[in-house]
Amino acid sequence: MTVLPGWVAAQSGIAGEGPPTGDPWPAMVGETVSSADGTPIFFRHGGQGNATVLFVHGWSCSHAFFGPQFAPVSQRYRIAALDLAGHGQSGHRAKHTAAAFAEDVLAVAARFPGPLVLVVHSAGGRVACHAAPALEDRLLGVVGFDAFQNLGMPPPTEERINASLAALKADFAGRVAQSMSFLLPEDADPALQRWILEQMSSNSPEQAVAASAAFANDDPAAAVRDFSKPVWALNSDGVPTNVEKIRQVIPRFNAQTIVGHGHFLHLVNPQLLNDRLLSRLDQLAG
């Protein structure tokens, strides 16, 4: 077990370093827990409070992508943030599925008894759809950053999935670099863009492709249908959020669209997103 202030991590260049935005991280303890299939899952935790806020990152990212949220949230709540299998400092597994990623979340959540809120980004929302029903007795709700839009959209065709995976296999780093043009606004900080690109490209290409296939072939609606707790999304305007359609799956779903901030809106404008996140956490925690 190690105690690492995030700001030290950011300055030392170790794996999981923080993004060049937001406040310094609070002191956090780094640990590893075994997922259901034995895969070692790395997570950090800190803060204090009666409820725990557990952060779940998106595809080819890591817990460090929530760095700007750690300090403000830890002043009111316990916090924990994991690296899903095949990402960051966690171990690799032979076959990825969204349900297996959910087991990673459940393994970390089991270390923190009591009320729980999941905060997710992007494909972390798909993971939450599988994890939330198993946590429902203690889960206060879920808050998403640019997440859950897929619940209101038709699934991609098999042809489109195969073409996307083939391109990713052929040039993983190149596809990640190409995606920056629509993941971030045009006026995004160049240092932040470089950091995101470096972090996403540093994951194992094989694991990243396998994770992408798992998410593309997943049916999150079937896993989370009629989930009874509130789910709030703070989403970009890049992909439309069909609230009424999503409410057919999650009755207590609400969303707010934030214009001009791109997919990584919680990194582009931490102050705005943190204020809105804390407001929702306080409502959920009562």
Write out the residue range of the structural domain in which residue 188 sits: 2-285
CA proximity to 60, closest of 171, 182, 206, 189: 206
pTM score, two decimals?
Answer: 0.94
Q: Are residues 58 and 66 in contact, defined by beta-carbon separation less than 8 angstroms?
A: no
Q: What is the pLDDT of residue 105?
A: 98
Q: What is the mean pLDDT of each run of 10 residues along the chain (286 residues)?
A: 38 56 93 98 96 98 97 97 97 96 98 97 97 95 97 90 94 92 91 95 94 94 93 96 96 96 97 98 93
Q: What is the pLDDT of residue 31?
A: 97
Q: How many domains does the chain have?
A: 1
CA 209 to chain centroid, in Å, comes to: 17
Question: pLDDT, tens digit, for every residue of 167-195?
Answer: 999 999 999 999 988 899 999 999 999 99
* CA 192 to each of CA 36, 82, 149, 269, 283: distance values in angstroms, whole numbers, following the listed order: 35, 21, 25, 11, 31
Q: What is the pLDDT of residue 154?
A: 86
Domain of 72: which CATH number? 3.40.50.1820
Q: What is the pLDDT of residue 152?
A: 85
Q: What is the pLDDT of residue 174?
A: 94
Question: pLDDT, tens digit, for every residue of 24-36?
Answer: 999 999 999 999 9
CA 31 to chain centroid, in Å, comes to: 19
